[in-house]
Amino acid sequence: MSFTISSYDSADVVHMPEKLTMANANSVKQQLTEMIDAGKTNLVIDLAGMSFTDSSGLAVLVAVYKNIQKQGGAAVILSPQPAVQSLLELTRLQELFEIYQDPNAAVERVSKAA
Q: In what order do the strands lie in the sheet with 11-15?
A: 4-8, 11-15, 42-46, 74-78, 98-100
∠ CA(26), CA(5), CA(27), 5° rounding? 10
* Percent of the residues in the chain that have a pLDDT greater than 70, as a whole number: 98
- Collapse the DSSP code of 59 into the 3-class scheme (helix H, G, I; strand E, B; otherwise coil) and give the result: helix
113 pLDDT more than 80: no
1 pLDDT more than 70: no
Measured distance CA(113)–CA(33) in Å, rounded: 19
**What band does 60 get if pLDDT is binned at 50, 70 and 90?**
very high
**What band does 114 get if pLDDT is binned at 50, 70 and 90?**
low
CATH class of segment(s) 4-9+17-41+50-100: alpha beta
Tens of pLDDT, residue by residue over 35-58, are: 999 999 999 999 999 999 999 999
